[in-house]
Chain A
């Protein structure tokens, strides 16, 4: 099931410039399966938001503009000097082949005085642009366009060459029929590359690594993504050699790592490591003392012989500075957690151990005792129960802002509610597929047929007709996707931006109350029509209008009491501070 997030465009001030990155990106995150540890991705560059400074907004100012004043004798030189980019313009030094991602092209801070690009005055007759303009135009082209432009005439070729040389970042899509030579010839043009991202549609092996190692002396960040059909043949030895050789490599991300087989990574510069589709790793050595962030996703193939406990043990010993850990594997278990907690990683802030059904409440206890300062905890797919949540709320209320417990069949709405009540800093809560109707089609470990309904123990009966009442001042994103056992929901969250109710099939339209004025998106695919209608109605009215739907009574002291739906206990409607009429942003209800 796809978990979709759509960045809605808010068209209020400030104006957005047309960034070459284009309109809001669609962030598709796989639900608890290969999801990057709770780090929701930046809409512009696709990297996780946590701890990243988006390259799209790098500002370098090495230029002092020459202000031109028309009081001088107007001649062509005035036009030229005015073409220098003003210092507030963002210099972006990236070239992108990836058409989807958009084309972020290089700016060039050097002085252009001595460059002769021919007649500096624009001459519509012969199609010439002033020097700075041509640069700015070509820099907005995707690399294929840039190559075409370089073939137009000498002047354009010169400018294109400079753009290539200035490029610091390159994103390249390598088509299916391409050879390493393609990458090689491109990399030759831009020796200054610091960040490289390759989307492979053809197979990739060590020759590619060698090519990159040779062509990019300053490489700090490398990412190899792959399409479904491409095969990544790089072995652990080859990868290890690459890492050792690249002395300034800080970030390495690679998909399709099923042929690694085991590796020894030695690097004092490496701080970010993401490997996915791992399978049957024999020996793993992480000799990376400055490793800050690691993400290891194992493929779901059977018979994976990786010894996770030993691996994690080694990781804990050799990488004391780890702050963010994400491991996704069905073979995660309590013993693996113990190996991790034994390492006492004092800087650990984000811990994500997903898909491990053998992770239990005892694991939570271990985590809580050795890492009390977590900001993100993701135990999706585990067997923890409400008492595990209790432990979490006991230990982490002062730091935890993101809690993800999707696909945890043993937690109930009381647990969820407890968490939202006890964790004041919570901004993101994911409880997808937790409160599930056991009779539904959704795959749950304990599936039963209708006839056995009567024989359900109490623990299962409560899974239907669940209700949730959540009041939280800081919660920004809440996901209840797939909670088919949920039939009533009351949300009073003044900061909530995103609500996911996909497949909440049994949520009753008359038992839904959303009092979240800053809500921007509600996902409601798979819900009843009537529910969708109710949601739309509730998010489009502003507060006072909605208040009028509910019976209310004015008391002698002038205050108002609003009667909320029967399933809620009587509460005073304390939103009398509506003299501050917050202008409601448009909220999108997404159904697809």
Chain B
């Protein structure tokens, strides 16, 4: 439906009531927003209660960069790499936002980044990083340990 590559502006409001205005071309990098635009629901400000202002700004920055045709492939790669140099809380927020807004490339990158954080770590370390409670019984733990003994050589 949105065939016009004109300067249609999409307005977004984050959970902490910050508003952002971006060009449609930038906004539709998000599948979620694209669907809304296509369905004609994007005329008013779109509230995004799951995403706070800081994260939304980052996501929109990403989208802008990917629409910009003056950016070279190399520059983009560098940008993407630097982009994910975040602390954990931000990474989480970004993951949730990218997931909710369905920005494919970003989501893929963030998921990979989280996977990279897990790779090569022992379970206890993983729990610490992600603040996860160990809910196995001692018997279950032992069973798992035996199963996987060889993997941690």
Which residues on A are within 8 Å of B, measured CB to CB? 10-12, 15, 17-18, 20, 67-71, 74, 78-79, 82-83, 86, 89, 122, 124-130, 132-133, 136-138, 140-145, 147-154, 156-157, 175, 177-178, 182, 185
Q: What is the number of residues of chain B that contact chain A, defined by CB distance less than 8 Å? A: 59
- Tell whether, in the assembled complex, residue B105 and residue A148 are in contact, meaning their CB atoms are under 8 Å apart: no
- Tell whether, in the assembled complex, residue A124 and residue B112 are in contact, meaning their CB atoms are under 8 Å apart: no
- Tell whether, in the assembled complex, residue A69 and residue B111 are in contact, meaning their CB atoms are under 8 Å apart: no
A17-B105, A122-B95 are contacts. A153–B135 as well, Cβ < 8 Å? yes
Residue B127 interfacial (CB < 8 Å):
yes
Find A148's partner among B32, B35, B100, B123 (CB 8 Å cutoff).
Answer: B123
- Tell whether, in the assembled complex, residue B127 and residue A70 are in contact, meaning their CB atoms are under 8 Å apart: no
A18-B112, A79-B50 are contacts. A175–B127 as well, Cβ < 8 Å? no
C-alpha spacing A127/B96, complex, angstroms: 12
Which residues on B are within 8 Å of A, measured CB to CB? 31-32, 35-36, 39, 41, 46-50, 66, 72-74, 76-77, 88-89, 92-93, 95-96, 99-100, 102, 104-105, 108-109, 111-112, 114-115, 118-123, 126-127, 129-136, 141, 144-145, 147-148, 150-153
Kindly list chain B residues whose C-beta atoms are within 8 Å of the C-beta of A182. Answer: 150
Q: List 28 A-B contacts (CB under 8 A).
A: A11-B74, A11-B77, A12-B73, A17-B104, A69-B39, A69-B41, A122-B95, A126-B133, A127-B131, A133-B99, A136-B111, A137-B115, A140-B111, A142-B119, A143-B151, A144-B152, A148-B123, A148-B126, A148-B148, A151-B123, A151-B145, A152-B127, A154-B135, A154-B136, A156-B132, A175-B153, A178-B150, A182-B150
Q: Is the contact region of chain B dominated by helix, strand, or loop, or is it mixed?
A: helix
- Tell whether, in the assembled complex, residue B115 and residue A122 are in contact, meaning their CB atoms are under 8 Å apart: no
Closest to B13 in A: A70
Kindly list chain A residues whose C-beta atoms are within 8 Å of the C-beta of B46. Answer: 70
- Tell whether, in the assembled complex, residue A15 and residue B135 are in contact, meaning their CB atoms are under 8 Å apart: no
Kindly list chain A residues whose C-beta atoms are within 8 Å of the C-beta of B136. Answer: 151, 153-154
Kindly list chain B residues whose C-beta atoms are within 8 Å of the C-beta of A140. Answer: 111-112, 115
Find B123's partner among A71, A127, A136, A152 (CB 8 Å cutoff).
Answer: A152
C-alpha spacing A15/B66, complex, angstroms: 9
Kindly list chain B residues whose C-beta atoms are within 8 Å of the C-beta of A79. Answer: 50, 96, 99-100
Kindly list chain A residues whose C-beta atoms are within 8 Å of the C-beta of B88. Answer: 124
C-alpha spacing A182/B49, complex, angstroms: 48
Find B111's partner among A128, A133, A144, A151 (CB 8 Å cutoff).
Answer: A133
Kindly list chain B residues whose C-beta atoms are within 8 Å of the C-beta of A149. Answer: 118, 123, 126
Kindly list chain B residues whose C-beta atoms are within 8 Å of the C-beta of A129. Answer: 95
Closest to B134 in A: A153
